[in-house]
Amino acid sequence: MHAHDHAHGRASDRRALATALVLIVGFMAAEIVAGVVGGSLALLADAGHMVTDAAALAAALVAAGLAARPARGAWTFGFGRAEILAAQANGVSLLVVGLLVVYAAIRRLVSPPHVHGWLVVGVACAGIAVNLAATSVLARADRQSLNVQGAFLHVATDLAAFVGTAIAGGLVLATGWNRFDPIAGLLVAALMLRSSWSLLRDSGRIFLEGSPEEIDPQAVADAIAADDEVVEVHDLHVWTVTSGFPALAAHVLVRPGADCHAARRRIEQVLDGRFHLHHTTLQVDHVARRSQDVELGSLRHR
């Protein structure tokens, strides 16, 4: 049942990503033309971000398809980390485009070109509508997936950027001060860089096989050591295979005469119930004496 629900969730995620991709691509070309004609950096920044949105959504869609393939042959964990690769690529693309927008905005602050305020406002309002629709679609997908979260951040950032662009266009119309446009571009860039850091941090944590943020290895060690039969815990590793797939491996020693299989089942129930660790590999053996300390690396538990 769990596998069926997971497969159904992945299929739903792919439909959401495909729908958002169609909406973004359909609007992107028109915005590029409008940005060039209107001389608006804010619009071109949004358009550049939408290019990365389209690429991000396409990559996320491909990665979601790969992740749905079953494990086989040398790929014993399947292709789940294809989604993490896509999320990291999305983070890099946001970083690059954000830095390019900062450079262009600084140049336009020094020497601002003429901005067609009405065109900027009109296109920005249309962009708000399109991105609201795309964001709404992605918000209903599985946001625990870093792949989906990366795509969502791209589109949600663009939605906020369009709101800023519309405000900038209105201020240009009201005051005639064209520097509002590159200022809005800088705000867009700030949102891009913030989203980029979030994606790069989370995907990097998975690739470096750090423990999931919500799971404290020390707490896990304490929980295992609390079992009456356990004498020692070492070589404990907690990592994330892909989004929503934490895993654990540990070597556990129990007192002489204890039932290793019963101890393993008790520990698995604790790990499942308290930490939602469903994929565990426990090597349970006996020790010769009960006085030995319970330890995790250099940390000892009595």
Report which of residues 265 and 125 the model is more confident about.
Answer: 265
Is residue 32 domain-shared with residue 168, that is, in the same domain? yes
If one counts the domains in the chain, the total is 2
Query: What's the pLDDT at 260?
Result: 93
Task: Name the band, by pLDDT with cuts 50, 70 and 90, for residue 293.
Answer: low
Is residue 156 domain-shared with residue 261, that is, in the same domain? no
Is the pLDDT at 261 greater than 80? The verdict is: yes
Least reliable range by pLDDT among 7-11, 235-239, 252-256, 289-293: 289-293
Is the pLDDT at 6 greater than 70? The verdict is: no
pLDDT, average across residues 248-260: 93
Let me know if residue 116 belongs to a domain.
yes
**Which of 207, 230, 257 is the endpoint of a domain?**
207
Is residue 67 domain-shared with residue 101, that is, in the same domain? yes
**Global pTM value:** 0.74
Is the pLDDT at 2 greater than 60? The verdict is: no
**Which of 167, 183, 207 is the endpoint of a domain?**
207
Range of the domain at 239: 217-301
Query: What's the pLDDT at 10?
Result: 64
**Which of 207, 231, 250 is the endpoint of a domain?**
207
Let me know if residue 212 belongs to a domain.
no
53-68 pLDDT tens trace: 787 788 888 888 887 7
Let me know if residue 52 belongs to a domain.
yes
Of all residues in the chain, the percent with pLDDT exceeding 90 is 26
Is residue 52 domain-shared with residue 172, that is, in the same domain? yes
Let me know if residue 85 belongs to a domain.
yes
Tell me how far the alpha carbon of residue 116 is from its chain's centroid.
Answer: 37
Cα end-to-end distance, the chain, whole Å: 40
142-167 pLDDT tens trace: 656 788 888 888 788 878 878 888 88
Is the pLDDT at 26 greater than 70? The verdict is: yes
Task: Name the band, by pLDDT with cuts 50, 70 and 90, for residue 300.
Answer: very low
Is residue 241 domain-shared with residue 105, that is, in the same domain? no
Is residue 174 domain-shared with residue 223, that is, in the same domain? no
Let me know if residue 14 belongs to a domain.
yes
Is residue 22 domain-shared with residue 167, that is, in the same domain? yes
Query: What's the pLDDT at 301?
Result: 46
Is residue 100 domain-shared with residue 149, that is, in the same domain? yes
Let me know if residue 139 belongs to a domain.
yes
Indicate which CATH number applies to the domain containing 27. 1.20.1510.10
Let me know if residue 190 belongs to a domain.
yes
pLDDT, average across residues 114-126: 78
Is residue 21 domain-shared with residue 166, that is, in the same domain? yes
Is residue 104 domain-shared with residue 229, that is, in the same domain? no
Query: What's the pLDDT at 220?
Result: 95
Least reliable range by pLDDT among 12-16, 97-101, 208-212, 234-238: 12-16
Let me know if residue 172 belongs to a domain.
yes
Is residue 179 domain-shared with residue 225, that is, in the same domain? no
Task: Name the band, by pLDDT with cuts 50, 70 and 90, for residue 272.
Answer: very high
Is residue 43 domain-shared with residue 185, that is, in the same domain? yes
Task: Name the band, by pLDDT with cuts 50, 70 and 90, for residue 206.
Answer: very high
Indicate which CATH number applies to the domain containing 249. 3.30.360.10
Query: What's the pLDDT at 207?
Result: 92
